[in-house]
Amino acid sequence: PVIGSRLAIPDVHLFPAVVLAFIAVLKSRDIRTVATTPDVRRALILTALFGVISVVSWVSGILRFSADPARSTIVLANYFYGIAAMVSVIILVRDWTQWKWCLLALAAGVGVVGFVSFISALGVGPEWAYHYRLTRQAVRVQSTFRRVNQLHSYVAPGMAVLYALFFSRQSPLWWRIVSAILFALGAIALIATGARTALVLLILVLGGVALYSLFHFRDSPLVAGVSVGFLVAGLAAMGALVLVVQTGNVESLPSVLQPAVRPVQLLLRSTDFDSLFGPRSDQFRATAENWFRHPVFGVGLTNFNTFYGVQHEVHNTYLGVLMEQGLIAFGLLLGSLVFVLKTPFHVLKSLEPDNSTVEKVMIAMMILAFILVLVYGLSTFGLRQRIFWMLAGLLLSAGEISRKDKDTETRTLNAD
């Protein structure tokens, strides 16, 4: 749902958060309080430099390579909006209670998107949720709901969070039941898009949570056994789906599952690189043949397909940054991602063993969630997705919270 032509409802929540974070920094009068942890500070510095290089590429693209000023300005604004949202999360989320509330909000969002996708798959959803009809019984749900942010970039990471909330010892039984229902709705939402990327993300999130359960809860035979059964059932389901496609019995499936046939059909019918990746294959070739021609600041934001004459905008975060913004921006982005992922691993090591089924599970699943967003970036340009910046902010804020708790514990021991 949107307000006006571009402002989505989630942005109505983000704008006040950015303003509140700015006020908090002004009140503190010390920007260093935003990032007290070295890795968090490094991630923010590299991200800020990435923003600076993006401005240079924006100017260079318009002046040297005739990039569309309006389109490139929108992308630049999206970058800074995302960076501001990430920093806002770090500033405003200052303890584990607030951090968990953010996860609950993400879980609730999965529920809303999953419910809309479910009723749309049944044929009773809103008009803006549909893409086109696949079979007599099934329709394909619009993966963007006709807006920029794709639902599988949000739902797949949210499913990992729902898993963590399900296994939290602090969760009452009713919430565990709700989490399981929302997890199922998230899976249906991914299936209903009929997209290859969504199917890959679904497989990764299901396999990720099953493997994590198997190894993390290995001392619990029940959980480990359920995890093995879950993996076996998943493999059997994929095998059955392939069999259905090969035998042509698609309409024998329930209508909500029929969209899953489309990506399987595309994969099975692919005979070469071009048929497997579609327009992305031209983009891969254009990158391999031309990345060294303008290596410093690239050819300008949003200018990939226009400059190189390929179909569609670039469908890869990393190729897009490399080609449109150059090697410097590409290196800064990868460097910041390293520190975003490094931070929660340090937090995991610092947590006490008795937190193994609370903060540890949640942080591990947040790492999985962010990895899913990074994998999603291999198939489309992920930096415009709000969830990328919000998850990065939550992972970095976990480092700040852990550092604050450790400092408080140290002061308490010294006082004693």
Angle separating helix axes 38-65 and 386-415, nearest 10 degrees:
150
- pLDDT value, residue 396: 94
297-324: per-residue pLDDT in tens?
888 888 877 777 666 667 788 888 988 8
- pLDDT value, residue 42: 93
Which residues have CB under 8 Å from 176's CB, separation 6+? 166
The distance from CA 250 to its chain's CA centroid, rounded to whole angstroms, is 30
Which residues have CB under 8 Å from 75's CB, separation 6+? 58, 301, 302, 384
Residue with more model confidence, 60 or 33: 60
Confidence of residue 94 (pLDDT cuts 50, 70, 90): confident
Tally of helices (H runs) and strands (E runs) in the chain: 15, 4
- pLDDT value, residue 6: 47
Q: Can you read off the two tokens belonging to residue 147?
A: 């807006």
- Alpha carbons within 13 A on the beta-carbon side of 27: 8
3-state SS class at 373:
helix
Q: Can you read off the two tokens belonging to residue 55?
A: 């401005």
- Alpha carbons within 13 A on the beta-carbon side of 385: 26
Phi and psi at residue 305, to the nearest 5°: -70, -35
pLDDT at 121 over 90: no
pLDDT at 139 over 60: yes
The whole-chain average pLDDT of the chain stands at 78
- pLDDT value, residue 4: 42
The pTM of the full predicted model, rounded to 2 decimals, is: 0.85
Q: Which of 399, 335, 358 has its CA nearest to residue 100?
A: 358
- Alpha carbons within 13 A on the beta-carbon side of 47: 26
Residue with more model confidence, 6 or 362: 362
Residue with more model confidence, 412 or 218: 218
